[in-house]
Structure 1
Amino acid sequence: MAIHYETQGRTALIRIDNPPVNGLGHSTREGIVSGLRSALDDSGIDAIVLTGGNGFFSAGADITEFGTPKSGAAPTLNEVIAALDAAGKPVVAAIEGTCLGGGLELALGAHYRVATAASKLGLPEVNLGLVPGAGGTQRLPRALGFATAVDMITSGAPRTARVLAAIDGQRLLDRVVDTDAVAAAIDFAAEIAATRPLPRVRDLIAAGDPAAAAPQRAALVARSRGFLAPIAAFDLAATAVTTAFDEGLAAERAIFTGLVAGEQSAALRHAFFAERAARKIPGIGPDVRPRPVAKVGVLGAGTMGGGIAMNFLNVGIPVTILETVPEALDRGLGVIRRNYQIQVDKGKLAPEVLEQRMALLTPTLDYADLADSDLVIEAVFEDMDVKRTVFTKLDEVVKPGAILASNTSTLDVNAIAAVTSRPEDVVGLHFFSPANVMKLLEIVRGDRTADDVLVTAMTLGTRIGKTGVVAGVCDGFIGNRMLYNYRAAGFALLRAGATPAEIDSAIEGFGFAMGPFRVADLAGNDIGWAIRKRRYAEDPDAPREEIADSLCELGRYGQKTAAGWYDYDGRTPKPSPVVADLLAAYWDKHGTKPQTFDPDEIVQRLVLALTDEGARILEEGFAQRASDLDVVYLAGYGFPRHRGGPMWYADRVGLPTVVAALRRFHEGEEYEPAPLLVRLAETGGSFD
Structure 2
Amino acid sequence: MTQDNPVSVSREGAVVVLTMRSGPVNALGSALREALRAAFDEAAADPAVSAIVLTGGGRMFSAGADISEFGKPQSGISLPALLDRIESVQKPVVAAIHGNALGGGLETALACHYRVALPSAKVGLPEVKLGILPGAGGTQRLPRIVGPRKALDVIVGGAPIGAKPAAEMGLIDDLAPEDGLVAHAVAFAERVVAEKRPLTRIRDRDDRIAEGRDDPGLFDAFRKENARKLRGFEAPEACIACIEAACRLPFEQGLAFEREQFGKLVSGTQSAAQRHVFFAERQTAKIPDVPEDTAPRPIHKVGVIGAGTMGGGIAMNFLNAGIPVTIVETRQDALDRGLKTIRTNYENTAKKGRLKPEDVETRMGLLTPTLDLEALRDCDLVIEAVFEDMGIKKEIFSKLDRIAKPGAILASNTSYLDIDAIAAMTGRPGDVIGMHFFSPANVMRLLEVVRGEKTEKDVIATAMQLGRKVGKIAVLVGVCHGFVGNRMLAQRQREANRLMLEGVKPWDVDRVIQDFGLPMGPFAMIDLAGLDIGWSRETNKSETVRDLLCELDRRGQKTGAGFYDYDASRKATPSKVTEEIIAKVSGRQGVAQKPASDGEILERCLYPMVNEGAKILEEGKAIRASDIDIVWINGYGWPVYRGGPMFWADTIGLPKVLERLRAYQAEYGDDFKPSALLERLAAEGKGFRDL
TM range (shorter): over 0.9
The range that moved more, 29-38 or 478-487, is 29-38
Matched, 1:627 2:615: no
Asked if 2 retains the 8 angstrom alpha-carbon contact of 1:118 and 1:178, the reply is: no
In the alignment, the residues of structure 2 paired with residue 300 and residue 163 of structure 1 have an alpha-carbon distance, to the nearest angstrom, of: 42
In the alignment, the residues of structure 2 paired with residue 268 and residue 317 of structure 1 have an alpha-carbon distance, to the nearest angstrom, of: 33
Partner residue in 2 for 1:556:
554
The one of 460, 466, 473 equivalent to 1:467 is 473
The range that moved more, 395-404 or 433-442, is 395-404
**For residues 105-134 of structure 1, what are the alpha-carbon distances to aligned partners after superposition, in whole Å with 9 as ceiling and x for unaligned?**
111111111112221111111111101101
In the alignment, the residues of structure 2 paired with residue 301 and residue 219 of structure 1 have an alpha-carbon distance, to the nearest angstrom, of: 37
The one of 27, 41, 48 equivalent to 1:44 is 48
**For residues 383-434 of structure 1, what are the alpha-carbon distances to aligned partners after superposition, in whole Å with 9 as ceiling and x for unaligned?**
1111112212222222211111111100111111111121101110000001
Partner residue in 2 for 1:190:
190
The one of 151, 154, 164 equivalent to 1:152 is 154
Classify the secondary structure of the residue corresponding to 1:125. helix
The one of 555, 564, 567 equivalent to 2:565 is 567
Partner residue in 1 for 2:578:
579
Partner residue in 1 for 2:613:
614
In the alignment, the residues of structure 1 paired with residue 225 and residue 587 of structure 2 have an alpha-carbon distance, to the nearest angstrom, of: 42
In the alignment, the residues of structure 2 paired with residue 190 and residue 246 of structure 1 have an alpha-carbon distance, to the nearest angstrom, of: 31
The range that moved more, 365-374 or 458-467, is 365-374
Partner residue in 2 for 1:540:
none
In the alignment, the residues of structure 2 paired with residue 128 and residue 162 of structure 1 have an alpha-carbon distance, to the nearest angstrom, of: 26
Amino acid at match of 1:295: K
In the alignment, the residues of structure 2 paired with residue 545 and residue 152 of structure 1 have an alpha-carbon distance, to the nearest angstrom, of: 54
Q: CA deviation at 1:196?
A: 4.2
The range that moved more, 109-118 or 186-195, is 186-195
In the alignment, the residues of structure 2 paired with residue 10 and residue 401 of structure 1 have an alpha-carbon distance, to the nearest angstrom, of: 62
Asked if 2 retains the 8 angstrom alpha-carbon contact of 1:100 and 1:123, the reply is: yes
Classify the secondary structure of the residue corresponding to 2:581. helix
In the alignment, the residues of structure 1 paired with residue 662 and residue 533 of structure 2 have an alpha-carbon distance, to the nearest angstrom, of: 30
Q: CA deviation at 1:210?
A: 4.3
The range that moved more, 196-205 or 641-650, is 196-205
Matched, 1:65 2:64: no
Alignment of 1:241-640 (within 5 A): 241-527=247-533, 529=535, 546-569=544-567, 570-590=569-589, 592=591, 594-640=593-639
In the alignment, the residues of structure 1 paired with residue 505 and residue 581 of structure 2 have an alpha-carbon distance, to the nearest angstrom, of: 11
Asked if 2 retains the 8 angstrom alpha-carbon contact of 1:53 and 1:96, the reply is: no
Partner residue in 2 for 1:541:
none
Aligned length: 673
The one of 95, 118, 121 equivalent to 2:120 is 118
Q: Runs of 5+ in structure 1 lacking a partner? A: 537-543
Q: CA deviation at 1:31?
A: 1.6
- Judged with a 3 Å threshold, the aligned counterparts in structure 2 of structure 1 residues 333 and 590 are, in CA distance, closer, same or farther, namely closer
Q: CA deviation at 1:600?
A: 2.4
Amino acid at match of 2:612: E
Q: CA deviation at 1:329?
A: 2.0
In the alignment, the residues of structure 1 paired with residue 654 and residue 521 of structure 2 have an alpha-carbon distance, to the nearest angstrom, of: 25
**For residues 513-570 of structure 1, what are the alpha-carbon distances to aligned partners after superposition, in whole Å with 9 as ceiling and x for unaligned?**
111111111111222657xx89x9xxxxxxx983333333433221112111111113
**For residues 130-149 of structure 1, what are the alpha-carbon distances to aligned partners after superposition, in whole Å with 9 as ceiling and x for unaligned?**
01101111111112111111
Q: CA deviation at 1:375?
A: 1.3
Asked if 1 retains the 8 angstrom alpha-carbon contact of 2:277 and 2:630, the reply is: yes
The range that moved more, 406-415 or 491-500, is 491-500
Amino acid at match of 1:245: F
Q: CA deviation at 1:66?
A: 1.0
In the alignment, the residues of structure 1 paired with residue 216 and residue 435 of structure 2 have an alpha-carbon distance, to the nearest angstrom, of: 46
In the alignment, the residues of structure 1 paired with residue 182 and residue 332 of structure 2 have an alpha-carbon distance, to the nearest angstrom, of: 56
In the alignment, the residues of structure 1 paired with residue 57 and residue 316 of structure 2 have an alpha-carbon distance, to the nearest angstrom, of: 33
**For residues 448-486 of structure 1, what are the alpha-carbon distances to aligned partners after superposition, in whole Å with 9 as ceiling and x for unaligned?**
000011111111111111111111000000000000001
Asked if 1 retains the 8 angstrom alpha-carbon contact of 2:452 and 2:479, the reply is: yes
Asked if 1 retains the 8 angstrom alpha-carbon contact of 2:286 and 2:292, the reply is: no
**For residues 230-275 of structure 1, what are the alpha-carbon distances to aligned partners after superposition, in whole Å with 9 as ceiling and x for unaligned?**
1111121122222221111111110001100001001111111111
In the alignment, the residues of structure 2 paired with residue 457 and residue 87 of structure 1 have an alpha-carbon distance, to the nearest angstrom, of: 52
Matched, 1:14 2:15: no
In the alignment, the residues of structure 1 paired with residue 97 and residue 117 of structure 2 have an alpha-carbon distance, to the nearest angstrom, of: 4
Asked if 2 retains the 8 angstrom alpha-carbon contact of 1:375 and 1:404, the reply is: yes
Amino acid at match of 1:481: R
Asked if 1 retains the 8 angstrom alpha-carbon contact of 2:27 and 2:62, the reply is: yes
CA RMSD of aligned residues (A): 1.9
Asked if 2 retains the 8 angstrom alpha-carbon contact of 1:615 and 1:674, the reply is: yes
In the alignment, the residues of structure 2 paired with residue 524 and residue 367 of structure 1 have an alpha-carbon distance, to the nearest angstrom, of: 29
In the alignment, the residues of structure 2 paired with residue 461 and residue 453 of structure 1 have an alpha-carbon distance, to the nearest angstrom, of: 12
Identity level (%): 51
Partner residue in 2 for 1:3:
7
- Judged with a 3 Å threshold, the aligned counterparts in structure 2 of structure 1 residues 643 and 284 are, in CA distance, closer, same or farther, namely same
Classify the secondary structure of the residue corresponding to 1:103. helix
Classify the secondary structure of the residue corresponding to 1:482. helix
The range that moved more, 590-599 or 252-261, is 590-599
- Judged with a 3 Å threshold, the aligned counterparts in structure 2 of structure 1 residues 121 and 523 are, in CA distance, closer, same or farther, namely same
Alignment of 1:33-112 (within 5 A): 33-69=37-73, 72-112=74-114
Q: Runs of 5+ in structure 2 lacking a partner? A: none
- Judged with a 3 Å threshold, the aligned counterparts in structure 2 of structure 1 residues 528 and 47 are, in CA distance, closer, same or farther, namely farther
TM score, norm. by length of structure 1: 0.94
In the alignment, the residues of structure 2 paired with residue 285 and residue 271 of structure 1 have an alpha-carbon distance, to the nearest angstrom, of: 23
